[in-house]
Structures are given as structure tokens and as C-alpha cells.
Structure 1
Amino acid sequence: MLRLGSVNYDVRGKIAILTLDEPEKLNALTAGIRAGIREGLQRADKDDGIRVSIITGAGGKAFCAGADIGTFDFDPEKARAFFIDAMEVLSAPERALKPVIAAVNGIAYGGGFELAIASDFILAAESARFAVPEIKLGLLPGFAIVRLQDIVGRAKAKEMSMLGDPVNAADASRLGIVSRVVPDERLLSDAIAFAERIASQPRLAVQMAKSFYNRGLGGDETRHAIDGFPFLLTHADAREGINAFLEKRAPRFENG
């Protein structure tokens, strides 16, 4: 097993398993986890012996809790640089040449949810929960704002983004977010079994199928999201929402 940033990289036959490993932070998208995701998927793509990657979270409570909010910087230029880096990481499963499976244990909120939906398939433990809760910070999701409506429909995407309420695994399956729901104790074994089935198919045909279905992704709409995020971060509501979160209190928004 290799340690890439804060991600454990393990190879089981033709499968690469990337385990986000900062459970004390609920596997939030720290610099170490972002670096590990990027490096791990690049390593899998370059390894001719690897056919499929799995991303999961350590600790059982969280797949990934999203952004490391304590590190946010309100300076617009720094915020834009952070968001460019974050969008590159969140879209990495989409851009990977080989299929990526998100094995979601526990919460997948914000950037964690976005990392999951950027993957080709999501297998969810029965305890999994999904949300884009950025609205509670006076913000909006970045990657999900340009992908979610294609998965759940425009009205449901608006509801999830405007309310920020979590969706359980069963409802996520009904909405088409999740490919299948499995018992918690079988999550990784079922994900590996699913990955092995994909790995047994013709390599080039599988990679071309991913490429064809993902055609057109990653265009102007992602650049609009990158430009919009720093603007929201400069608003008083965002400052209040983030400060309230860090201080563990209810936010008092200007219009609330």
C-alpha cells in the first residue's frame, strides 16, 4: 500500500483502491486528500495492470464531508485559485481514462457528494447520506451546480441546492444518483466485485464507453462556476455562514 498525501493507495489484482484517510476531519477535502486523489487516479491511469479504480473513505462515518471550511480565505483572488484547484480534483474521476467507482460510506456532503457524482458509478452503504449543504453557508455547490440537474432533474437539483437537506441512500437510488445500495458491511467487497466484473470486459471498449458517454463534459459551464464562487464568498452572508459553522451556532443572514 502507498500513502499519497492523505490517501491510501492499494492494488488488488486489476483494481486500485483509493481510501481517503483523514477520518478525524471526516475525510474533508484537505490539501493532503486533494493531492492524493489527483495523484492516485493519475497513477491508476498510467498503470497498464489497473482496469478500474474505487474511491472510498476511512473511518466509517464519512466518505467525504466536503470542503475543509476552516481553511477558507475570503480574498477573492485566493478563493478563485482554491476553487480552480478544487474543481480540478472534483472532476478528476470524470477525466480519468478508466472507470471510477465511488463506494460511499457515511456522509458525502458538498465536495464529497460532488466527488461521488463525478465517478462513473456510486455504490452506497445503507447508512450513506448525500447533500449539497453549501446554501447553509451562504454559498452554492461548484461542480454539482453544473452536473446535478442532469442526474436528478432541474426541479430536484434546485430543491437540493436551495434547501441543503440530506438525501438517504434509498432516496438517492430512486433519484438515479446511486447505482445500487448495499449493507454497510458489504460495501467494499461488493464494490470490488462490481469493479472486477467491469475489469473482465474488453479494456479498450470499456474506456471508449466512458469517453463516449462523458463527451461534452467540462466546458464553459465549469468556468462560470469557477468565476461565480469567489463572488459569493465576498458577500456578507457567506462570511456569516462560514463563521457560524466554525463557531457551531445558527447563522444570522442579512435577509433572514
Structure 2
Amino acid sequence: MRIGSVEFETKGRVAVLTLDEPTKLNAISLGIRQGVTEGLAKIESDPEIRVGILTGRGDKAFCAGADISTFPESPEQARDFIAGVLPVLEAPERCRKPLIAAVNGIAFGGGFELAIACDFILASERAKFGVPEIQLGLLPGFALLRLHQIVGRPKAKEMSMLGEPISAAEAVSLGIALRAVAPEQLMDEAMAFAEKLAAKPQMALQMAKSFYNKGIGGDDMRYAIDAFPFLFQTDDVKEGVAAFRAKRKPVFK
């Protein structure tokens, strides 16, 4: 079954959502947003589904983040953009069932954020993680609220302020990913892990997720939606986006 730009399939008690725009590195288009939102809602509502897996089509990318070709060009458009995207990125947190991100390639920006919103990350050994928004004169939205809770403040600041990617091995050492596996074994490992979770008492699993996620979300999301558009008033953002589209190095003032 296809929902927007996401392939939805069930394998016994496990649902697999595959972001399916590989020519755009599975960037977060309207179709991806629709597929993730509606796919997670199906997982939530179907009593036969106990665990979900999110992954990306192709061997290059889990999700490359925002689709820069459709990037907002004004603070007003930016607020509408972030207000539409943030609920998608936090949707895995709100789903009461366990979710595994099987990260098969790059997970940058919004793709990284979608992965860390899941309960677990299994990574291909060639996967890379990062929040490169600073290269556009911007900051990550969702990751700015969550990353320091995973890796600590100094490392979160370094990743956000430099925008440099980290390897799968470093992601494991930082506690971002559970483990890294050979690329050809990734989905088998994810399915095996999902089946282990599916065999556990479901009410206890869901209560565990609720307990560990207690206190996240709420006012901080509203702050991100309200604060993010102000960056679009700066010349640095215009230069960063223009440089990205022209495939040149930005010159920030």
C-alpha cells in the first residue's frame, strides 16, 4: 500500500514504512509528510500491529532532511513551514507503539530528527547523521529540543554549531543509535528486533514508552514554531540557501 510518498506494508505483527523518493534522497516533501503522518496513524489504530519500522528507499539515504527546492522565502512562509513539519517529526514520539528507525544512509536535518523521535535507531555501518542547518544560516528545530537530552549539551552544541556529520560508529558511542550493522543485514536486524518487541506484553511496552517520554513535547514545540521564522529575516539565510542551490560555498556576513 502506498500512502503519499511512503510505502506501507505489514509483516505479521510489524509494519514497515519506507520513505520512497530516492531520487531526492527521501527529503521531507509533502508526500513524505503525508505518508509518515497517515502511516503512523494506521500503526496506532490497528490492533494487529504491535511495532513499526521506519526506513528509506535506496542505499544512499534514510532521509536527507528538508526539500530545499521548496524552502520558504519569508518569515511568514517559514512559520507555516515549521508548523507543518514539526508535528511530523514528533509524530513517532506521540505514537504509543514502539518504533524502530532503520537508518540505511544519510540522516540529515529533518531526517535525523525523524530518526531520533523513534524509540530505537539501528544504523547501517555506512549511515551518517547530522544537523547541517547552520550551513544555511539556520538551526535545527526539533533536534534543538531533543539532541542535548541524548548526547549532552556540549556535543549537541558542537553538532548544531558546526553542522558536521558523524559516522554510524560515533552515533552508537554517543547513544544516538543502538548499534551499527552491515548494510545488507540492516532490515533483517530491524525485523528481528521488532519481532522481539512484538512478543512482549504490549500494555507494559506502551506504558514504558509513555513513562520514558513523559515530559517531552508541549511548550517547547510552540517556542520552536514561534522562534524559527525570525532567522529567515537575516541575509545569512538568503546567502546560505542561494549557495546551496548553486552548489557553492556560502559567504556569511
Output the TM-score relative to the length of structure 1: 0.98
Alpha-carbon distance in structure 2 between the residues aligned to 1:108 and 1:224 = 24
Counterpart residue identity of residue 70, structure 1: S
Tell me the residue number matched to 1:133. 132
Offset of 1:75 from its aligned partner? 2.1
Tell me the residue number matched to 1:58. 57
Tell me the residue number matched to 2:22. 23
Superposition pairs of residues 49-128 of structure 1, within 5 angstroms: 49-128=48-127
Offset of 1:225 from its aligned partner? 1.2
* 1:177-229 per-position Cα deviation (integer Å, ceiling 9, x unaligned): 00111110000010000000000000111111101110111021121111121
Q: Is residue 226 of structure 2 the alignment partner of residue 227 of structure 1?
A: yes
Alpha-carbon distance in structure 2 between the residues aligned to 1:242 and 1:229 = 15
Alpha-carbon distance in structure 2 between the residues aligned to 1:73 and 1:217 = 27
Tell me the residue number matched to 1:33. 32
Counterpart residue identity of residue 138, structure 1: G
Alpha-carbon distance in structure 2 between the residues aligned to 1:105 and 1:169 = 10
Alpha-carbon distance in structure 1 between the residues aligned to 2:173 and 2:72 = 37
Range 219-228 or range 205-214, more displaced:
219-228
Q: Could you tell me which runs of 5 or more consecutive residues in structure 2 were left unpaired when the two chains were aligned.
A: none
Counterpart residue identity of residue 126, structure 1: E
Alpha-carbon distance in structure 1 between the residues aligned to 2:46 and 2:102 = 21
Alpha-carbon distance in structure 2 between the residues aligned to 1:221 and 1:91 = 12
Counterpart residue identity of residue 6, structure 1: S
Count how many residue pairs are aligned between Structure 1 and Structure 2: 253
Alpha-carbon distance in structure 2 between the residues aligned to 1:201 and 1:86 = 32
Any runs of at least 4 consecutive aligned residues in structure 1 with deviations exceeding 6 A, and if so which? none
- What's the secondary structure of 1:35's corresponding residue? helix
Alpha-carbon distance in structure 2 between the residues aligned to 1:149 and 1:17 = 29
Output the TM-score relative to the length of structure 2: 0.99
Alpha-carbon distance in structure 2 between the residues aligned to 1:156 and 1:223 = 24
Are the counterparts in 2 of residues 74 and 234 from structure 1 also a CA contact under 8 Å?
no
Offset of 1:38 from its aligned partner? 0.2
Identity of aligned residues (%): 61
Offset of 1:143 from its aligned partner? 0.1
Q: Could you tell me which runs of 5 or more consecutive residues in structure 1 were left unpaired when the two chains were aligned.
A: none
